[in-house]
Structure 1
Amino acid sequence: MPSLDMPLEQLKQYMGRSPKPDDFDAYWAEALQELDATAPEPLIAPSAFQPPNAECFDLTFTGVRGARIYAKYLRPKGVSAPHPAVLQFHGYTGSSGDWSDKLSLVNLGFSVFAMDCRGQGGKSEDVGGVKGNTMRGQFIRGLDSGPKDLLFRHIFLDTAQLARVAMSMPEVDAERIGVQGGSQGGALALVCAALEPRIKRCVSVFPFLSDYKRVWEMDLAKDAYEELRMYFRLFDPRHEREDDIFRTLGYIDVQYLAERIQAEVLMGISLMDNICPPSTQFAAYNRIRSTKSHIIYPDFGHEGLPGFNDDAYLFLSKL
């Protein structure tokens, strides 16, 4: 088959290249303590969009560092008994999208929570407060301030806060929660399942934010990863701090959080993906210790994967 990465049999054994910080577990334990101390203060208000089969709300809650985070919240109309829910996460720079594309799950009896990431294309706040470059690029945001100020640390914690808010809703069954997303959303689905162990099912498609050093060595620091090349060119042109930079990015490398997942995972993997290369997808998949399965698309890149949405729908329906 055509290939832009290592052979499939090697991919199935690959465990990543980027360094894992020695204090990774302590770092995330402290981060979760900060989340525990952050009162979510959720507010909901009826949205302008009100279809005949669902009740739709604008939901806001407080994330770490005081940012107000926005999510669309949809629930089946007239249903008050506890029922399952799915949390959805969008691609890099995007937003939670249209209300109507979430109604198939509502029709199945699910509530749906779709979060806007801080400072991207939706309504959530990026409260800032870091040193260094803020012109563009979120996964390098905070590199010059230190690991605790990485913006994606906060976004990762936002996913767990959303899960906690959803689970606190009286109409939601906290034991039947799934997460779903592609690209950045695929990474955030894995992260949410890692940071909130009560998540039961996770759908992740070609996850972003995995194995940064492998992306660099494949000369694919472009498109979604372009800011890494930009950072080196502007702030470390001789790569004198390269080891330290990749170590710091290790705190927000989803392959290492994936080891914590207890949910059952379904992953879509595309072998011709030159945005989030296959080895970085497998780096995350191979570290998942819970029940897992993948569907491989040999000829597809970072694009729609035919039939996968149907498989994901059936996978989540088992909640």
Structure 2
Amino acid sequence: MPLKSTVENYKDYMGISPKAEDFDKYWAEGVKDLKGTDFSYTLEKRDFPMKDIEVYDMYFKGMNGERVHCELVKPKHIEGKIPGVMSFHGYTSNADSIYSKVPYAYNDMAFLAFEVPGQGGKSEDNYTADGPTLYGQIIRGVMDEDKKKLFFRNIYLDAVKAFVLFENMDFIDENRIGTTGKSQGGALSLVVAAFNKNVKASAVIYPFLADFKKVFEMNMCEDVYVEFKNWFRKYDTLHEKEDEFFERLSYIDVQNFADKVKCDVLFFTALLDTTCPPITQFSIYNKLKCNKELKVYCEYTHERLPYSDDIIYEFFKEKL
């Protein structure tokens, strides 16, 4: 389908997944819980054979008291305060290579990479709740009586906490910080921007965790969303709890945060993406009320998008 026709079909789509009536109250309580946690952190310097940069492992306590890891790369010599970029990785992945962050440090910017607990990095996972843990993290906590037990509730709050720690570092200009990431990372980038008005710009690539009911309706519960299909097969074979299931997940549905994002957003989508279906991404994009720009890759799926790293770097150099 030609680009113009495809995007035209999506331009008014606002999602079909629900939004819980107490969504705002739920997250106000989450922020209150976050403020009651320990905001101390440690930095452990790492050796890396490249001149004029410094690399640190940063650790802090997450919402469940787990040790959360971030990777900090910054210029060795800093005068005054400098901009910062915070990144988030894809589902099951990690902070990736130090080398990928070096261009920012070489151009007087600090870079902080957050690692989600229980995935491919160094962050601990000591989370417990009723329900299965076999199939994935999206559904963790969906069966617990306590709505606060959703796994991604605490991931979102951990990410916000990491941003607060970053913006308060003595060499960071709190008014010049951006967020970025692909897939799960794109979702976390937008959620952090929704919670913290000091985010100046956000660059996101095919964001994950949106319009869950649409994914299910389209029968695209494979790969990262296979846990939906398996949950119904094991725990609700007749779909008697389907409405309850999707309402609980609405607390972590990124489209429900979109109207709270106030920063400039650079948004990439790939029209052949079968992992994060484009229509679910447009449920986010169409609800953004901020200054936004869309980059559409017609013949690409959930993969590396050519030149996107260059475009994002230029975006941050302009905005920050």
Query: C-alpha deviations, 1:255-283, integer Å up to 9, x for none?
Result: 01111111100000111111100111100
Which amino acid is 1:48 matched to?
D
Q: 1:312 to 1:212 in 2, by over 3 A?
A: same
d(CA) in 2 for partners of 1:74 and 1:81?
17
SS state of the match for residue 21, structure 1? coil
Query: C-alpha deviations, 1:52-100, integer Å up to 9, x for none?
Result: 1211101001221212210001111111421000000000000001111
Normalising by structure 2, report the TM-score: 0.96
d(CA) in 1 for partners of 2:105 and 2:246?
41
SS state of the match for residue 200, structure 1? strand
d(CA) in 2 for partners of 1:78 and 1:122?
28
d(CA) in 2 for partners of 1:307 and 1:56?
26
Normalising by structure 1, report the TM-score: 0.97
Pairing of 1:192-211 with structure 2 (within 5 A): 192-211=192-211
* Alignment-derived partner of residue 143 in structure 1: 142
* Alignment-derived partner of residue 116 in structure 1: 115
SS state of the match for residue 64, structure 2? helix
d(CA) in 1 for partners of 2:66 and 2:257?
23
Which amino acid is 1:206 matched to?
Y
How many residue pairs match? The answer is 317
5+ residue gaps, structure 2: none
Query: C-alpha deviations, 1:6-55, integer Å up to 9, x for none?
Result: 93212011000100001000011000111111122110010133521211
Deviation, structure 1 residue 2: 5.9
* Alignment-derived partner of residue 131 in structure 1: 130
SS state of the match for residue 199, structure 2? coil
Deviation, structure 1 residue 161: 0.5
d(CA) in 2 for partners of 1:126 and 1:144?
19
Say whether the 8 Å CA contact 1:134–1:141 is kept in structure 2. yes
* Alignment-derived partner of residue 61 in structure 1: 60
Where in structure 1 do 4 or more consecutive aligned residues deviate above 6 Å? none
Pairwise CA RMSD: 1.3
* Alignment-derived partner of residue 315 in structure 1: 315
Query: C-alpha deviations, 1:90-145, integer Å up to 9, x for none?
Result: 00000001111110111121100001101001111111121111123001011111
* Alignment-derived partner of residue 19 in structure 1: 18
d(CA) in 1 for partners of 2:105 and 2:12?
38
d(CA) in 2 for partners of 1:209 and 1:289?
19
d(CA) in 1 for partners of 2:7 and 2:264?
23
5+ residue gaps, structure 1: none
Say whether the 8 Å CA contact 1:50–1:56 is kept in structure 2. no
* Alignment-derived partner of residue 30 in structure 2: 31
Pairing of 1:1-319 with structure 2 (within 5 A): 1=1, 7-145=6-144, 146-318=146-318, 319=320
Deviation, structure 1 residue 212: 0.2
Say whether the 8 Å CA contact 1:43–1:61 is kept in structure 2. yes
d(CA) in 1 for partners of 2:119 and 2:16?
28
Say whether the 8 Å CA contact 1:40–1:63 is kept in structure 2. no
